[in-house]
C-alpha cells in the first residue's frame, strides 16, 4: 500500500489527513535522502575546491537536472526558489521591470491564490500598469469568451493557476496561453497544485514561466522552482543581489553570473533541492493517471455523502477537469468550528478563505471547508470525515 511509504501514517495509523492541497505528507525516501545529505554530504555548493563540496554540488545540480528532465526544460531554465510565492514575486519584480511600462495591463483570474494576485498588484503600482481579471461562468469554469475580450493589445502579462486550490478545477491554460501569444503577452502558470497531480511538459504547454512548490508534491518545505524560458530570464534583471549571482564585483559596479545562478543569490536550500529531486523520482514511479482517478473517486464518494446533510452547499461541479478537491459550506456550522471538531476526531481538513478572498466573494461566502484527498487516502478516510461532520451537527444544531 502507498500509505505505508509515509512515516507519518506508520507512526499514527489512526490519522486521517485530508489537507494535501495545503501540503502533502512526505515519503520515507525523501526524508532519508535529505538525512543522508545532512549526515554525510553536508558542505556548501559552488564554492569549495575540496571533495565534500564537489560532492554536495553534484547532488544539488543533479536535483536540478532531475527537475528539468521531468518538466522537459533545460537545466539553466530551472531556478530554485523558496516556493511558488517567491517564484511569482521574482517574475512580477524582474519581468515587470523588463517588460512593463505605464498603461500596460496584467491579466489574472478571479480564482487565483493571493500569491498570484498580490505580487501583480505591487508590480502594477510600481510600473504604472493595470490589473484585470477573467471571471468565472456559472459552472465555476473560466469564462473564455470574457477572456477573449479582456486579453488585448495592452496585455503584457497573463498569469493564472494550472488548478484552482479552492475548486480543484484545471483551468484551460492552453487556450489562455494561445490568447496571450496572439497579442504578444508573456504567460506565467501557477503550478502549485498542477505538478502534484499532472505530468507537466513546459515545452508542450509553451508557457513562458511555470512556478511551483516542493511541499505540495511530496517534497520538503522551503524549496520551489521557477521555470522560465531562457530568453526571458536573460532579459530580466536579478531579483536579489549577493553571493554566487555575480560574475564580477568592483567598487564601481557589478556584472551578473550566467543562468541559473543569476537568480540564486546566497547559499541555497541545498537539502531542500536534493529532497525535491527525490520527490520527483518518487513521482516518476507513480501512474499519475491512476492516482488522479483515485483522488477523483474519493471526491465523488464525499460528494455523495454530503447529500445526506441539510444546509450543505458544495462549490464543485465534477468533470474531467476536476482533481477531487471538495469545497463546501454548512449553513449553520462555521468552517473553523467544523475543522475543530474534525481535529478532535483525528481528521485534518482546511477551513477558511484558502488565501483566495476574491474567489470567496464570487462564491458569496466568507469562508469554506475544504477536503483534498490524495494517493495515501482511502475510502475509510472519507467515512471518518463524514462521521466527524455528523458529530459537528450534533454539537451545533
State yes or no: pLDDT of 47 exceeds 90. Answer: no
Percent with pLDDT over 70 in the chain: 100
Same topology for domains 2-23+287-396 and 29-284, yes or no? no
Instruction: Give the chain's count of helices (H) and strands (E).
Output: 15, 15
Question: What is the Cα 75 distance to its own chain's centre?
Answer: 20
State yes or no: pLDDT of 135 exceeds 80. Answer: yes
Question: In this predicted structure, what is the pLDDT of residue 48?
Answer: 87
Average pLDDT over residues 204-208: 98
Separation between Cα atoms, residue 171 and residue 193, nearest integer Å? 11
Domain residue ranges of the chain, discontinuous segments joined by +: 2-23+287-396, 29-284
The predicted-structure confidence for 277-301, as pLDDT tens digits, reads as follows 999 999 999 999 999 999 999 999 9
Average pLDDT over residues 193-201: 97
Q: Please spell the DSSP secondary structure of 333-370, one letter per residue.
A: B-HHHHHHHHHHTTEE-EEE-TT-HHHHHHHT-S-EEE
Average pLDDT over residues 150-159: 98
Question: In this predicted structure, what is the pLDDT of residue 317?
Answer: 87
Residue 355 among the catalytic residues: yes
Question: In this predicted structure, what is the pLDDT of residue 2?
Answer: 86
State yes or no: pLDDT of 257 exceeds 80. Answer: yes
The predicted-structure confidence for 353-369, as pLDDT tens digits, reads as follows 999 999 999 999 999 99
State yes or no: pLDDT of 1 exceeds 70. Answer: no
Class of domain 29-284: alpha beta
Question: In this predicted structure, what is the pLDDT of residue 253?
Answer: 95
Angle at 201 between CA 239 and CA 144, to 5 degrees: 85
Average pLDDT over residues 117-146: 97
Question: In this predicted structure, what is the pLDDT of residue 315?
Answer: 96
Catalytic residue, candidates 207, 342, 348, 355: 355
Question: In this predicted structure, what is the pLDDT of residue 55?
Answer: 96
Question: In this predicted structure, what is the pLDDT of residue 131?
Answer: 98
The predicted-structure confidence for 66-116, as pLDDT tens digits, reads as follows 999 999 999 999 999 999 999 999 999 999 999 999 999 999 999 999 999
User: Can you tell me whether residue 241 is helix, strand or coil?
Assistant: coil
CB atoms within 10 A of CB 182: 12
2-23+287-396 classified as CATH 3.40.190.10: no
Average pLDDT over residues 265-269: 96
Amino acid at each position: 500500500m502507498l500509505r505505508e511509504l509515509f512515516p507519518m501514517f506508520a507512526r499514527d495509523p489512526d490519522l486521517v489527513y485530508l489537507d494535501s492541497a495545503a501540503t502533502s505528507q512526505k515519503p520515507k525516501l525523501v526524508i532519508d535522502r535529505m538525512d543522508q545529505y545532512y549526515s554525510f554530504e553536508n558542505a556548501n555548493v559552488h564554492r569549495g575546491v575540496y571533495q565534500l563540496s564537489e560532492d554536495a554540488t553534484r547532488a544539488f545540480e543533479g536535483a536540478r537536472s532531475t527537475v528539468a528532465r521531468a518538466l522537459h526544460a533545460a537545466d539553466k531554465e530551472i531556478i530554485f526558489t523558496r516556493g511558488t510565492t517567491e517564484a511569482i514575486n521574482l517574475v512580477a519584480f524582474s519581468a515587470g521591470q523588463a517588460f512593463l511600462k505605464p498603461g500596460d495591463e496584467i491579466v489574472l483570474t478571479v480564482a487565483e491564490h493571493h500569491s498570484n494576485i498580490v505580487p501583480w498588484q505591487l508590480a502594477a503600482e510600481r510600473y504604472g500598469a493595470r490589473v484585470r481579471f477573467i471571471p468565472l461562468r456559472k459552472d465555476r469554469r473560466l469564462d473564455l469568451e470574457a477572456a477573449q475580450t479582456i486579453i488585448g493589445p495592452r496585455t503584457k502579462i497573463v498569469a493564472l493557476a494550472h488548478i484552482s486550490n479552492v475548486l480543484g478545477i484545471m483551468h484551460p491554460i492552453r487556450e489562455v496561453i494561445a490568447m496571450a501569444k496572439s497579442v504578444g503577452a508573456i504567460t506565467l502558470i501557477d503550478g502549485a497544485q498542477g505538478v502534484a497531480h499532472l505530468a507537466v511538459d513546459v515545452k508542450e504547454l509553451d508557457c513562458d514561466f511555470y512556478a511551483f512548490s516542493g511541499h505540495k508534491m511530496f517534497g520538503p518545505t522551503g524549496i520551489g522552482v521557477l521555470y522560465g524560458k531562457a530568453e526571458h530570464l536573460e532579459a530580466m534583471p536579478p531579483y536579489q543581489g549577493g553571493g554566487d549571482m555575480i560574475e564580477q564585483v568592483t567598487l564601481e559596479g557589478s556584472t551578473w553570473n550566467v543562468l541559473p545562478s543569476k537568480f540564486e543569490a546566497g547559499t541555497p536550500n541545498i537539502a531542500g533541492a536534493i529532497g525535491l529531486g527525490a520527490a520527483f523520482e518518487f513521482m516518476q514511479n507513480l501512474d499519475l493517471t491512476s492516482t488522479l482517478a483515485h483522488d477523483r473517486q474519493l471526491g465523488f464518494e464525499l460528494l455523495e455523502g454530503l447529500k445526506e446533510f441539510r444546509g450543505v452547499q458544495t462549490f464543485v461541479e465534477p468533470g474531467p477537469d476536476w482533481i477531487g478537491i471538495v469545497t463546501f459550506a454548512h449553513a449553520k456550522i462555521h468552517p473553523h468550528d467544523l475543522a475543530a471538531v474534525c481535529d478532535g476526531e483525528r481528521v485534518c481538513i482546511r477551513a477558511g478563505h484558502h488565501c483566495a478572498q476574491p474567489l470567496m466573494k464570487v462564491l458569496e461566502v466568507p469562508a469554506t471547508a475544504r477536503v483534498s484527498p490524495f494517493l495515501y487516502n482511502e475510502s475509510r478516510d472519507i467515512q471518518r470525515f463524514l462521521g466527524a461532520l455528523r458529530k459537528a451537527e450534533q454539537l451545533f444544531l
